[in-house]
Amino acid sequence: MRSISFGQATVEATAAAMREDSTVIVMGEDIGWGGNFGQFNGLLEEFGSDRIIDMPISEALILGSAVGAAVTGIRPVASMSFVEFTMGAMDEIINQAAKFRYMFGGQVSVPLVLRASDGVLRSSGAQHSESFESFFTHMPGLKVVAPSNPADAKGLLRTAIADDDPVIYLENKKITFLRGPVPEDDYRTPLGSASIIREGCDVSLVTYSVMTHHALEAARQLADEYSIDAEVVDLRSLVPLDLETIFASVEKTRRAVVCHEAWRFGGFGAEVAAQISEHLFGELDAPVRRVGAQSAPIAFSPPLERALVPEAREIVEAVIRNLEPE
């Protein structure tokens, strides 16, 4: 199977959707020349400026236009470049896109995808190194996905564009250029479907996006250095959340560590940990542990950034603490 980048995989998904459905358009900042991470390369040349629309640097305008287009039968893919820029369009996302289906009794739908690059990119500083998924997962009416590899990036985006509700599609900055095997055919990955990407029996590492790669490295270290067999669950979709797969894994291992790059305090991992604790309390051999960033703005300095943002080492440490006798 050929190997392509995360960005190339999303170009394929977008192009396939646009060829299939003439109502699909792409709009946003810096997309005409291919986007900051190459995620729109070649689309302008194939589909023209009527469907690949460069917008002014006004996030409220981009999302307001996308919501208006969506409720009138268009399927817009709106790009924010960096997830931090969504803060300038939260009214349109939260009070309009997320609520219209409910406010109008199901008479309208808002089939839009909001694409945004999130997470920490080395020395990008406090205003371009953030993870806001918990803002969006907290809001009823939004679906949220966070793929970790090119194959899922393609399949999840294809599904998101076809969905009749607004989908927040988060692509971590660190893995946009990551290459991996991707089928050439057209396919869709269901929302609400987690994936067991490494089987194990001693502890479940529940994660998503870039932290999936750190979890796999942590699982390797745990096996090599401590003879601990970790299972890795890649959520892929945060809303809807595949609780069935999470619970089945934790019922088997009886221990769980939930990992994400976002700030630990108030992060999405707290919801996952709560779900596990509420439903499987009697099955657990130890409390659920969480791994996330320290509660501080992400520093520009590489050593300070590394001190704040977790990687494989912090996951290994959390597992060892989880296995220690109380």
Query: Per this entry, what is the length of the chain?
Result: 326
Q: How many Cβ atoms from other residues are within 10 Å of residue 126's Cβ?
A: 13
Instruction: For the chain, give every domain's residue range.
Output: 3-181, 195-323
CA nearest neighbour of 129 among 115, 111, 117 = 117
20 given a catalytic annotation = no
Q: In angstroms, rounded to a whole number, what is the distance separating the alpha carbons of residues 314 and 317?
A: 5
What is the fold, at CATH topology level, of the domain defined by 195-323? Rossmann fold (3.40.50)
Summarize pLDDT for 227-247 with one digit per residue, the tens: 999 999 999 999 999 999 999
Summarize pLDDT for 213-231 with one digit per residue, the tens: 999 999 999 999 999 999 9
Q: How many Cβ atoms from other residues are within 10 Å of residue 304's Cβ?
A: 12
Catalytic option among 12, 84, 92, 128: 128
Backbone dihedral angles phi then psi of residue 139, each to the nearest 5 degrees: -100, 115
pLDDT of 37 higher than 80: no
pLDDT band at 325 (very low <50, low <70, confident <90, very high): low
* Rounded average pLDDT over 119-136: 84
Q: In angstroms, rounded to a whole number, what is the distance separating the alpha carbons of residues 149 and 6?
A: 6
Residues 6 or more apart in contact with residue 124 via CB below 8 angstroms: 173, 298, 300
- Mean pLDDT score of the chain, rounded to an integer? 94
Please state which CATH number belongs to domain 3-181.
3.40.50.970
The least confident of 124-128, 133-137, 143-147, 214-218 is 124-128
Amino acid identity, position 53: I
Q: What is the pTM of this model?
A: 0.95
Q: What is the pLDDT of residue 255?
A: 97
Q: Do domains 3-181 and 195-323 have the same CATH topology?
A: yes
128 given a catalytic annotation = yes
Summarize pLDDT for 141-186 with one digit per residue, the tens: 999 999 999 999 999 999 999 999 999 999 999 888 889 999 999 9
Backbone dihedral angles phi then psi of residue 258, each to the nearest 5 degrees: -100, 130
Catalytic option among 29, 59, 92, 314: 59
